[in-house]
Amino acid sequence: MGDAFIVFLPSGKRGRFAVGTPILDCARKLAVDIDSVCGGRGICGRCQIEVGDGTFAKFALTSTPENLSPLSEPEKKYDQRSTLKPGRRLSCHAQLTGDLVIDVPRESQVHKQIVRKRAEVRDIELDPAIRLHYVEVAEPTLETATGDFERLLAALQEQWGLTALEEIDIRALQRIQSCLRTGQWKVTVAVHRGARITAVWPGFHDKAHGLAFDIGTTTIAAHLCDLSSGEVLASSGIMNPQIRFGEDLMSRVSYVMMNPGSDAEITGVLREGINQLIHDVRTEAGVDADTILNATFVGNPIMHHFLLGIDPTELGGAPFALATNSGITLWATELGITETSPDARVYVLPCIAGHVGADTAGVILSESPHLNEQISLIVDVGTNAEIVLGNKHRLLAASSPTGPAFEGAQISSGQRAAAGAIERVRIDKKTLEPRFKVIGSDLWSDEPGFEKETRSTGVTGICGSGIIEAVAEMFLAGLLSADGVINGAMAARSSRVQEDGRTFRYVLIARENEVSINQTDIRAIQLAKAALYAGAKLLMDKLNIESVDKIVLAGAFGSHIDTKYALVLGMIPDCDPKNVTSAGNAAGTGARIALLNQKARDDIQSIVRNIEKVETAIEPRFQEHFIEAMAIPHKTAAFSKLALTVDMPQPDPDDISQAGRTRRRRRS
């Protein structure tokens, strides 16, 4: 019968299985998180999956719905009842007949993805782009020939001083006469930036809400705000549904290149996710869609283009040309947004360069490096790291291709941040025994009650922050050499160091679902952290400085990295640890600032024009920095400031790496 290759997203887990194997069985053997209450009998309908359709260059396969068995009788019944969404299958009944990429929707996951993009506490000067104005309008008479709109303008100028107000949206104009008469010539109007009426209600109306969005490669976050008070009423996040087309940005661009016309499909699933997220937050807050009048968006350049329905192919190769890098104001309906008022306005923040997007513009609004004398290095850590360096005199920006390793992808026991994932690791230097924390519990694994508290989720794998700490702790404990080789000689001291082919692995959990760190995992982390460091060091070269005053780790992932371990690994240049901080979801905060303060929109447009863009792909020194940064923490940089607070391993004077055997020193 042969076998076929299957890849599950968003986990990235993959393997080969015999043709005819139910997809649910494949998932269980790979420890993929799919809900199934009925035990695979096709009764509960919770194990729904979606099939990727197209060529996936990253996985070297072509996936098509025809590579699944035909609809079974239970699936046909679900389909007839409209409880099986179009394009979905029941994984317990659909059988593998060829290579597949399978997307596990959020509602089909037992342990829902933890999207860590909460609204940060921030004082924001309140001056929203949408303001409500209650006004009393003079009734028409036979003697006055002016229209209702013109008399409304006159009233707004007299009662509110709105002298620049001249325009009105067509839907508001269509409602103006009925609203004036229903409200007995008293109405409330929504005015956009003091110049245009976008909505009108009869009588007094005081509800106006807005949304701030951060569209990331991996996750989408939304914050619902009261425009009159600035209060965040609800926040939520989802996995970016585009993951089925590729875990990283270039995979999605490659998918478009290899499947002409698919950019519309990828844009469609993104907008569907945005609408679902709006529905979630407004339902949580008890807010009616018609009161949501404004929204702001940040995202990297490729997400920016997909959101706007622009084919991102030009961003897939030099010179990485943007369709536009200006801020854009649109109607929400132009972006296919249906969960807000049809009169809602949308503002998309400007991009900076082909690989430095509106999310970085949001970070700059949030952290304000352009207002300070001290030199700041701001790193938005994600699948594609975006880096800003400078102060009030000069700002530079670049991006660095870190890849999805920090998110748990491409790691043998890696997973996204969900309940049951290891997120903190400590290794005893004497016994080499580990202890850890998992998402969903505040207890360490060696504390009483840990097993009971985590019984419902188990320990399912290791997420990005856990991988960072595990690798750094292995280095600090002597399990890992500076050049990233697992020390096989340590097998004599601990059974947790085990042979793994020609290399070794360190076992965090020795049980049926083993969680371990192997040599390939170490290399993946080295590649990611070296790219991040090299990008930062390249900007420092351009600014002609050897050190920075402070480092800010931004982004949902960056905010959960222990800054000590980011330094130990050499993800970032040496700095006094007390001056390395996490900013949380700074891009999302920037989107919220632009939502609640219209002047910020003008400010960021001006700032972006003056930022110096550095393209790492064409800089010769990037590769030099990258190679040296592969070592832990670095091949040549001393990291002397870190060494003042952290007991770093002493380098081997003979430059010998132990991997269960002694290797000759490499020639320089």
Which pLDDT score is estimated for 118? 54
Q: What are phi and psi of 201, to 5 degrees?
A: -130, 145
At 655, the pLDDT band (50, 70, 90 cuts) reads very low
Residue 668 has pLDDT above 60, yes or no: no
Q: What is the pLDDT of residues 470-491, one digit of tens each?
A: 999 999 999 999 999 999 999 9
- pLDDT reported for residue 665: 33
CA–CA gap between residue 208 and residue 228 (Å, rounded):
7
Q: H-helix or E-strand containing 395?
A: strand 395-400
Residue 119 confidence (pLDDT): 56
User: Are 588 and 638 in a shared domain?
Assistant: yes
For residue 666, pLDDT beyond 50: no
In a domain, 610, yes or no: yes
pLDDT per residue over 321-371, tens digit each? Answer: 999 999 999 999 999 999 999 999 999 999 998 889 999 999 999 999 999
Q: Is the peptide bond before 319 cis (omega within 30 degrees of 0)?
A: yes
The residues, ordered by sequence, that sit 6+ positions from 181 with a Cβ below 8 Å of its Cβ are none
pLDDT in tens, 206-258: 899 999 999 988 889 999 999 988 999 999 988 888 888 877 788 889 889 98
Residue 82 banded pLDDT, cuts 50, 70, 90: low
Residue 664 — pLDDT band, cuts 50, 70, 90? very low
The answer to whether 551 and 533 have CB atoms below 8 angstroms apart is no
Sheet arrangement for strand 612-613: 580-584, 550-554, 376-380, 385-390, 395-400, 612-613
Mean pLDDT of 141-153: 89
Mutual angle of helices 148-160 and 170-182, in 10-degree steps: 80
Whether residues 455 and 604 fall in one domain: no
If asked whether residues 79 and 176 sit together in one domain, one would say no
> Are 504 and 510 spatial neighbours (Cβ–Cβ below 8 Å)?
no
What's the pLDDT at 2?
Answer: 83
Q: What angle do CA 84, 89, 91 make, to 5 degrees?
A: 125
Domain coverage including residue 431: 405-523
Rounded percentage of the chain residues whose pLDDT exceeds 90: 64
- Of 388, 359, 360, 391, the C-alpha closest to 374 is 391
Same domain, 150 and 167: yes
The better pLDDT of the pair 204, 108 is held by 204
The structure tokens 């005053």 sit at 549
- Exposure string of 333-359, with b = 16+ CB inside 10 Å and e = fewer, is eebebebbbebbbbbbbbbbbbbbbbb
Structural domain contains residue 234:
no
Last residue in a domain, options 108, 143, 159: 108
Span 66-70, mean pLDDT?
Answer: 93
Tell me the C-alpha distance between 113 and 12, whole Å: 14
Q: Poorest-confidence range of 112-121, 275-284, 631-640?
A: 112-121
pLDDT grade for 538, boundaries at 50, 70 and 90: very high
Yes or no: say if 340 and 640 are a contact pair by the CB < 8 Å rule: no
Which helix H or strand E contains 81, and what residues bound it? Answer: none
Domain end: 184, 202, 220, which one?
Answer: 202
Is residue 190 classed as helix, strand or coil in its secondary structure?
strand
Contact 299, 315 (CB under 8 A): no
CB count in 10 Å sphere of residue 124: 18
Q: What is the pLDDT of residue 107?
A: 75
Residue 308 lies in a domain: no
| pLDDT average, residue stretch 646-665 | 54
Confidence of residue 408 (pLDDT cuts 50, 70, 90): low
Decide which of 108, 139, 160 is a domain's last residue: 108
Same domain, 22 and 93: yes
Specify the CATH number for the domain of residue 189. 3.10.20.880
Name which of 385, 425, 377 is nearest 543 in CA terms: 377
* Average pLDDT of the residues in 522-544: 94
Q: What is the pLDDT of residue 1?
A: 64
Tokens of 211: 């949304």
**Is 616 within 8 Å of 538 (Cβ atoms)?**
yes
- Identify the burial level of 637 via C-beta atoms within 10 angstroms of its C-beta, where 0-12 means exposed, 13-18 middle and 19 or more buried: middle
> Is 31 part of a structural domain of the chain?
yes
* Burial (CB count within 10 angstroms: exposed 0-12, middle 13-18, buried 19+), residue 510: exposed
Q: Give residue 120's pLDDT band: very low, low, confident or very high (50, 70, 90).
A: low
Does residue 645 contact residue 579 with C-beta atoms inside 8 Å?
no
Q: Report how far residue 43's alpha carbon sits from residue 88's, in angstroms, rounded to the nearest whole number.
A: 15
Q: How many domains would you assign to the chain?
A: 4
Q: How confident is the model at residue 186 (pLDDT cuts 50, 70, 90)?
A: very high
pLDDT band, very low/low/confident/very high, at 121 (cuts 50, 70, 90): low
Q: Which of 12-16, 413-417, 515-519, 547-551 has the lowest mean pLDDT?
A: 413-417
CATH number at residue 17: 3.10.20.30
Do 56 and 150 sit in the same domain of this protein? no
